[in-house]
Amino acid sequence: MAPNPRGARIFIAEKGLIIPTQEINILAGENLTPAYLRINPWGLLPALALDDGTVITQTPCICRYLETLHPAPNLLGRDALETARIGAWERCSEMNGQNAIAEFCRNQCAPLASRAVPGFAGVKALPELVARGRQRAAWYDEQMENQLATSAYVAGPRYTAADSTAQCAMDFANAVGLPVPAGHQHTLRWLQNLSTRPSATA
Amino acid sequence: MAPNPRGARIFIAEKGLIIPTQEINILAGENLTPAYLRINPWGLLPALALDDGTVITQTPCICRYLETLHPAPNLLGRDALETARIGAWERCSEMNGQNAIAEFCRNQCAPLASRAVPGFAGVKALPELVARGRQRAAWYDEQMENQLATSAYVAGPRYTAADSTAQCAMDFANAVGLPVPAGHQHTLRWLQNLSTRPSATA
Which residue type does B89 have? Answer: W
| Average pLDDT value for residue range A57-77 | 98
What is chain A's mean pLDDT, rounded?
96
Phi then psi for residue B43, to 5 deg, are 70, 15
When pLDDT is cut at 50, 70 and 90, the band that residue B122 belongs to is confident
Phi then psi for residue A49, to 5 deg, are -95, 125
Tens digits of residue pLDDT in B13-28? 999 999 999 999 999 9
Any idea which of A50-64, B94-108, B109-123, B157-171 has the lowest mean pLDDT? Answer: B109-123
Identify which of B62, B84, B132 has the shortest CB distance to residue A64.
B84
Asked if the model's pLDDT at residue B201 lies above 90, the reply is: yes
When pLDDT is cut at 50, 70 and 90, the band that residue B135 belongs to is very high
Asked if the model's pLDDT at residue B113 lies above 80, the reply is: yes
- Look at strands B47-49 and B55-57 and give their pairing: antiparallel
> What pLDDT was estimated at residue B119?
82
Question: Considering only alpha carbons, which residue of chain B is nearest residue A131?
Answer: B123
Sign of the alpha-carbon dihedral angle for A34, A118, B89, B195:
negative
Distance from CA of A5 to the nearest CA of B (A): 15
| Average pLDDT value for residue range B49-74 | 98
Tens digits of residue pLDDT in A6-29? 999 999 999 999 999 999 999 999
Question: Considering only alpha carbons, which residue of chain B is nearest residue A65?
Answer: B80
Task: Name the interface residues of A facing B (CB cutoff 8 Å).
Answer: 41-42, 54, 56-58, 60-62, 64-65, 68-69, 80-81, 83-85, 87-88, 91-92, 96, 117, 120, 122-124, 126, 128-129, 132, 135-136, 139, 143
| Average pLDDT value for residue range B89-94 | 97
Kind plus residue range of the DSSP H or E element containing A83: helix A80-92
Mutual angle of helices B161-175 and B3-14, in 10-degree steps: 140
The CATH 3.40.30.10 domain(s) of chain B lie at: 3-69
For domain B3-69, give the CATH superfamily: Glutaredoxin (3.40.30.10)
Helices marked H in A15-79: 34-39, 59-69
When pLDDT is cut at 50, 70 and 90, the band that residue A108 belongs to is very high
The CATH 1.20.1050.10 domain(s) of chain A lie at: 80-201
Q: Is there a contact between A80 and B65 if contact means CB atoms under 8 Å apart? A: yes
Q: Which residues of B touch A93 (CB under 8 A)?
A: none
> What pLDDT was estimated at residue A58?
97
Q: Determine the Cα–Cα distance for residues A55 and A62; give it in Å rounded to an integer.
A: 10
> What pLDDT was estimated at residue A89?
98
Any idea which of A12-16, B70-74, B116-120, B129-133 has the lowest mean pLDDT? Answer: B116-120
Phi then psi for residue B49, to 5 deg, are -95, 125
Burial label, A69 (beta-carbon count in 10 A; 0-12, 13-18, 19+): exposed
**How far, in whole angstroms, is CA A127 from its chain's centroid?**
24
Task: Name the interface residues of B facing A (CB cutoff 8 Å).
Answer: 41-42, 54, 56-58, 60-62, 64-65, 68-69, 80-81, 83-85, 87-88, 91-92, 96, 117, 120, 122-124, 126, 128-129, 132, 135-136, 139, 143
- Any idea which fold A80-201 has? Glutathione S-transferase Yfyf (Class Pi); Chain A, domain 2 (1.20.1050)
> What pLDDT was estimated at residue A106?
94
> What pLDDT was estimated at residue A66?
98
3-class SS of residue A156:
strand
Q: Is there a contact between A68 and B58 if contact means CB atoms under 8 Å apart? A: no
Q: Is there a contact between B80 and A62 if contact means CB atoms under 8 Å apart? A: no
Phi then psi for residue A195, to 5 deg, are -70, -15
What is chain B's mean pLDDT, rounded?
96
Rg (alpha carbons) of chain A, rounded to whole number: 17
- Look at strands A55-57 and A47-49 and give their pairing: antiparallel
Any idea what DSSP says for residue A153?
Answer: B
Asked if the model's pLDDT at residue A120 lies above 80, the reply is: no
What residues does A56 pair with on adjacent strands? A48
| ipTM reported for the complex surpasses 0.90 | yes
Q: Is there a contact between A54 and B126 if contact means CB atoms under 8 Å apart? A: no
Asked if the model's pLDDT at residue B1 lies above 90, the reply is: no
Kind plus residue range of the DSSP H or E element containing B48: strand B47-49
Asked if the model's pLDDT at residue A102 lies above 90, the reply is: yes
**A30, A100, A130, A191 from A136: Cα distances, Å:** 29, 6, 10, 20
Identify which of B42, B84, B128 has the shortest CB distance to residue A92.
B42
Contact A116, A97 (CB under 8 A): no
| Average pLDDT value for residue range B129-136 | 96
Q: What is the pTM of this model?
A: 0.96
Burial B113-149 (b: 16+ CB within 10 A, else e): eebbbbbbeebebbeebbebbbbbbebbbebbbebbe
Burial label, A79 (beta-carbon count in 10 A; 0-12, 13-18, 19+): exposed
